[in-house]
A and B are shown apart, each in its own frame.
Chain A
Amino acid sequence: MDEPTDFEDPERYKVGDETYARDLEALKILRGKEDPQSATFVIANEDHTLGNSLRWILNRDPRVDFCGYSQPHPSDKLIKLRVQPKPVEEGEEPVDATEVLRDALKNLMQMCDHMSETMQTQARLYRQQQGLSIPAYEAPEEEDMDEEDDDESEVAEDDEEEQQ
């Protein structure tokens, strides 16, 4: 586009829309007095996509006593995630909910990363095996990045073959 477009009111795209609550803080941490290492995380603009996976992975952590989440109302663009670490023996360092949650996030990130990598490798492998053409978006464009990708996938493909 050469000339600027003549939208009647361009400002309407700048203000928040109905999908995202822009006036909310991204994250709030609520804590009670009696149980200081537990916390409720109020996460804005998230839903079950993140909440359910986080609950699953937190519940698998042996340090977690209780973990649950809820979306209080479908119109509220937020979820509340409650994390209660296990009480520790005397003399031990208490585990904080924040620490547990950050570990959970790292675990999930690893999983996403791993799935993404295997997916890419598998797609290439599948195309090779079936003699399909490489789609245009995988053609070299940003050269540096693609070269790296290629190297990685070759190594990974070798691993695959060894396993089989």
Chain B
Amino acid sequence: MASFNRDPQVRIMSLTDSEIKLQLSNADTALANSFRRSMIAEVPTLAIDDVHIEINTTVLHDEFIAHRLGLIPLTSERAAHFNYMRDCTCDAGCPNCVVKLELHVACRDAHQMEVTTEHLRSTLDGPDTSVVPVATAAERRDQSIQGNHIVICKIRQGQELKLTCYARKGVGKEHAKWIPTAAVAYEYDPDNALRHTFYEHPEMWPRSEYSQLTDDDKHEADYDPDGTADTFYMTVESTGAMPPEKICQSALESLFTKLVDLDNALEVLNA
């Protein structure tokens, strides 16, 4: 069996609640890009997928509100423990595949009022198993973070909104609301040594944060005709649905699952 003795290396350069920066070396564009695509499209998260509206006397119509609700990021650390509804053994939703969120807000006085994610009450809400809007989770984690709730709509006196939402597990390639990342980017060759791009005025290009140039007067590395792109600087920004390193982990798991599935299919056909 042909094997390559160069496993990809990962080094974390910085890590916060919302962003991870990592260096992927001994890799190839193909691998880095699969990793990136997997983070965007293949990581399962939870998002509101069905909305039953009971009362809506706001200025926004039902579909508009349902769409806004769908796009709210929910804490999805535990998405892996959920079933996809289409694969679940239940008939029409059970605690293993659906999380119910309720909202009931009415404006009684003569002021404008904001209906926000703060008003969404989740049925799955506890110390470690909660599925709640990310702003709610952030508030609980850190008391100094307040008022980051997403506005669903604004109402005035006499208007009311009452609805029930059902959040389900899904992946980004099905609908963008299940994408856990806000931005995923990678760069390679920070000093343009490979000349994959042409700088007409190298001195006018801002220097990359990963630049290895030490000379201030130099704006571009010398051309390296034999070089290949094998080190990638990735930045992964989370919507808050999952911690960024968890997104990376989950993306790799999804890739791994794809490979195992294909291997199994090959084995079945060969048997």
Contact of B31 with A1 in the complex, beta carbons under 8 Å: no
Q: Does A126 contact B (CB under 8 A)?
A: yes
Encoded as 1 (CB less than 8 Å from any A CB) or 0, chain B from 233 to 262 comes to 000000000010110110011011011111
| Bound-state Cα–Cα, A136 to B1, Å | 41
A145 smallest CB distance to B (angstroms): 13
Q: Does B42 contact A (CB under 8 A)?
A: yes
| Bound-state Cα–Cα, A146 to B113, Å | 46
| Bound-state Cα–Cα, A139 to B243, Å | 14
Which of B10, B85, B174, B265 has a CB less than 8 Å from the CB of A118? B10
Contact of B123 with A1 in the complex, beta carbons under 8 Å: yes
- Across the A-B interface, how many residue pairs have beta carbons closer than 8 Å? 155
Encoded as 1 (CB less than 8 Å from any A CB) or 0, chain B from 89 to 109 comes to 001111100101000000000
Q: Does A55 contact B (CB under 8 A)?
A: yes
Cβ–Cβ < 8 Å partners of A47 in chain B? 37
Interface size class of B (residues with CB under 8 A): 35 or more
| Bound-state Cα–Cα, A17 to B262, Å | 21
Contact of A111 with B270 in the complex, beta carbons under 8 Å: no
Contact of B1 with A19 in the complex, beta carbons under 8 Å: no
A42 smallest CB distance to B (angstroms): 11
Contact of A109 with B2 in the complex, beta carbons under 8 Å: no
| 23 A–B pairs (Cβ distance < 8 Å), ordered by A | A1-B123, A4-B91, A7-B50, A7-B93, A13-B86, A17-B86, A27-B266, A27-B269, A46-B258, A49-B255, A49-B258, A50-B255, A56-B28, A60-B4, A111-B31, A113-B256, A114-B8, A115-B7, A116-B252, A122-B11, A122-B12, A125-B12, A136-B77
Q: Which residues of A pack against B, CB within 8 Å?
A: 1, 4-7, 10, 13-15, 17-19, 26-27, 29, 43, 46-50, 52-53, 55-57, 60-63, 98, 101-103, 105-116, 118-120, 122-123, 125-127, 130, 132, 135-137, 139, 141
